[in-house]
Structure 1
């Protein structure tokens, strides 16, 4: 990944975090958009849920996460507060459909900063938090200040620069957390911009592969390093 021969290849564990980035499973608006992009403007696709195929994708990934031991290692799950992402987060990392004694599921925390690109398109508008609390009782919504969605605007679409700023804000927040291994359940374009925050540290070929578009229910794992925690060796 590094172009310079004198670059550091070893990092102390306390300066690293493992992040598992996961895009939600196939949702109804994904299917409709493949037929006609204008369908994304339909109010009938408000806060679009997973399709049957999306639920199957989630179930398949859940099996992989359990068998690989990832479920036991993840200390925190951060999810976008939209229906499709929370269905994915609970389906992959939760324990609502199994006996509590079978698995130790990590806490799931909803954050606005992880939600989809805001504005114009009804699939990206969220419901009231009180409704979500009934639908997803195991998710922690304490970090969301507004009951209603006051971020989505009917006439203004969030710019890519604004999404990038959100990605940077989120990564700064994540770095301050005590957990060392975290899963993030979000949306394709938002996950890409989270990765763009670190893309300049990668070789161009790695950057292209790392930041390519996410498929539905694709999980991509990265290690982030705080180089500021490491001082240069003192010269004698």
Structure 2
């Protein structure tokens, strides 16, 4: 008798301010609020932190570890730091032309007389935003002992590849957890029509980001982008669900970094049942995800 299974994802609230309806995404500053980590006590504090000398991040790490230790065999918890790329050329172009003109005409062009936004690159502001994220991580790791990612994944689009490199460059990472981002095709932005979301070749990525690795089967040319159709929310959500299935099935890491896009972050939040929370360019939103593998036997 065949047994089928699927993985159900749930956002575990109560850890980060971004989960709370009272937190306004328009004014929220991830760097000024320790990524939104709440000031709270945990069930593990009495045993783990009797002298109250551990940082909030150390206590959070211990709590998540305990969740996994106590979980049943079909349940796993992961913490994903979802970072949006810094400001890019296409973001400026859309602001300049207006969303209506951008969507109807300019987004379908490779650029204008002044700039190119096909596979859009970071602006100077975007580079500065990634540098600010780098300073945030360096300070938090040194003073608050924020758990460093154990694994790094990035969209194949240039603005994410560059953001990941700048964000994690030069950090004092654990020797067993170096920053070697893996390029994931499914982690890219909404696919289709907009040329800013058409990726460059694998050769281009290898040449410009030689330290990066590729998931198995990563194609030389972009085989997913289409000039005449664009993903719906439901199709995008299905792609993000497939991405999570892959990572939860094959990656044993608990703390993971995604460098991706606003649309894909929004989709991931929908998949795990998180409330809508728009993330500005260069910002980060962390989530605690509970994954439960549900098996069923056909009658």
User: Scaled by the length of structure 2, what TM-score is found?
Assistant: 0.65
- Aligned partner of 2:125 in structure 1 is 53
Q: Alpha-carbon deviation of 1:197?
A: 1.2
* SS of alignment partner, residue 12 of structure 1: helix
Q: Alpha-carbon deviation of 1:145?
A: 2.6
Displaced runs of 4 or more, over 6 A: 98-104
Q: Alpha-carbon deviation of 1:172?
A: 1.1
Q: Residues 9-158 of structure 1: matches in 2 within 5 Å?
A: 12-14=67-69, 15-36=76-97, 37=99, 38=102, 39-44=106-111, 45-69=117-141, 73-95=148-170, 105-158=178-231
- Work out the CA distance in 2 between the residues paired with 1:101 and 1:213: 31
- Work out the CA distance in 2 between the residues paired with 1:227 and 1:141: 27
Give the counterpart of 1:173 among 246, 259, 263.
246
Task: Give the structure with higher Rg (CA).
Answer: 2
Q: Alpha-carbon deviation of 1:93?
A: 1.8
Q: Alpha-carbon deviation of 1:13?
A: 2.4
Question: CA RMSD, aligned part only?
Answer: 2.7
Moved more, 101-110 or 24-33: 101-110
- Aligned partner of 2:267 in structure 1 is 193
- Aligned partner of 2:19 in structure 1 is none
Query: Does the Cα contact within 8 Å between 1:128 and 1:148 map onto a contact in 2?
Result: yes
Distance 1:54 1:148, change over 3 A: same
- Aligned partner of 1:5 in structure 2 is none
Query: Does the Cα contact within 8 Å between 2:237 and 2:270 map onto a contact in 1?
Result: yes
- Aligned partner of 2:21 in structure 1 is none
Q: Residues 190-229 of structure 1: matches in 2 within 5 Å?
A: 190-199=264-273, 207-208=274-275, 211-227=276-292
- Aligned partner of 2:56 in structure 1 is none
* SS of alignment partner, residue 224 of structure 1: strand
Give the counterpart of 1:183 among 234, 239, 257.
257
Deviations 1:54-76 (A, max 9, x none): 00000011010111117862111
- Work out the CA distance in 1 between the residues paired with 2:201 and 2:291: 37
Deviations 1:96-144 (A, max 9, x none): xx89999964220000000011111110001110111000011112434
User: Scaled by the length of structure 1, what TM-score is found?
Assistant: 0.81
In the alignment, structure 1 segments of 5+ residues that lack a partner are: 3-8, 200-206, 230-236
Query: Does the Cα contact within 8 Å between 1:94 and 1:105 map onto a contact in 2?
Result: no
